[in-house]
Amino acid sequence: MASRKKGKIVNVRSVTAYLLAPWASVYAASKCALHSLTDTLRLELHYFGIDVVNVVPGAITSNIGKSSLSSYNQRSEWKLYKPFEEITERGHIFIKH
């Protein structure tokens, strides 16, 4: 790309970097790191004619949460989170930053 003086790098992030949810700290941190990487690469590669962009799809409904809940009662440490089960399942705990 650099030798041709053109190209495009597309990184896919998550809305989780903007709307934080409990128990997603590592995932959210990795998406925030990707944001910083993308911004830095955009500055570094601009001279070479390479565009660097972030794509941030919105929240989607999937079975990933339901799948993780299937092991919920099998692990003793998860009992600490039992009071938050209903609101976490509905996805109603979000903190804007």
16 contacts 24 by C-beta, under 8 angstroms: yes
Q: Which of 5, 6, 8, 27 is catalytic?
A: 27
User: Residue 6 corresponds to which amino acid?
Assistant: K
Q: Does the annotation mark 31 as catalytic?
A: yes
Rounded CA gap, 76 and 93, in Å? Answer: 23
88 and 22 Cβ atoms separated by less than 8 Å: yes
- Residue 18 CA to residue 5 CA, distance in Å, equals 33
Residue 97's Cβ-side half-sphere holds a number of Cα atoms within 13 Å equal to 9
Active site (annotated) includes residue 27: yes
Q: Which residues are catalytic?
A: 27, 31
